[in-house]
Amino acid sequence: DTEVTQTPKHLVMGMTNKKSLKCEQHMGHRAMYWYKQKAKKPPELMFVYSYEKLSINESVPSRFSPECPNSSLLNLHLHALQPEDSALYLCASSRGLAGGQLTRDTQYFGPGTRLTVL
């Protein structure tokens, strides 16, 4: 199983709403990632979790709040978003640590959640 799943596939929300994006993998990966991708632009890294701990936060606004409840799940909680936050949100996972170092390993991407903020 080399699949990363994300729900929902599409999400439309108002600026006052609170919603959550979910990501799940069962490959035993210990590193999980959130990316934001605008149209015709490359993915931009938002957060990295390594062994369920937040290891990288790319200066993301606090209206995005990540959570890693266990090694298989990654959530992104959304609150008070702006229209410019509309984008494709991609989750990815990779093996994680080996020999004490975070390995540079293949990142498997989920299909993404297409978010529209009105």
Partner 1 sequence: GQNIDQPTEMTATEGAIVQINCTYQTSGFNGLFWYQQHAGEAPTFLSYNVLDGLEEKGRFSSFLSRSKGYSYLLLKELQMKDSASYLCAVDTNAGKSTFGDGTTLTVKP
Please report, as ranges, the residues that interact with partner 1 according to CB under 8 A: 31, 40-45, 48, 50, 55-56, 90, 101-112
Closest separation between CB of residue 37 and partner 1, Å?
A: 9
- Cβ-based nearer residue to partner 1, 15 or 97: 97
Q: In this structure, are residues 78 and 92 in contact, taking their beta carbons and an 8 Å threshold?
A: no
Closest separation between CB of residue 1 and partner 1, Å?
A: 16
- Cβ-based nearer residue to partner 1, 86 or 107: 107
Distances (CA, A) of 89 to 8, 36, 38, 42: 11, 5, 9, 12
- Cβ-based nearer residue to partner 1, 9 or 16: 9
Closest separation between CB of residue 25 and partner 1, Å?
A: 13
Closest separation between CB of residue 8 and partner 1, Å?
A: 15
**Nearest by Cα to 15 from 75, 63, 71:** 63
Instruction: Read off the tokens for 75.
Output: 């959530």
Phi-psi category of residue 63: left, alpha or beta, with phi > 0 → left and psi -120 to 50 → alpha: alpha
* Encoded amino acid at 22, one letter: K
- Cβ-based nearer residue to partner 1, 54 or 118: 54
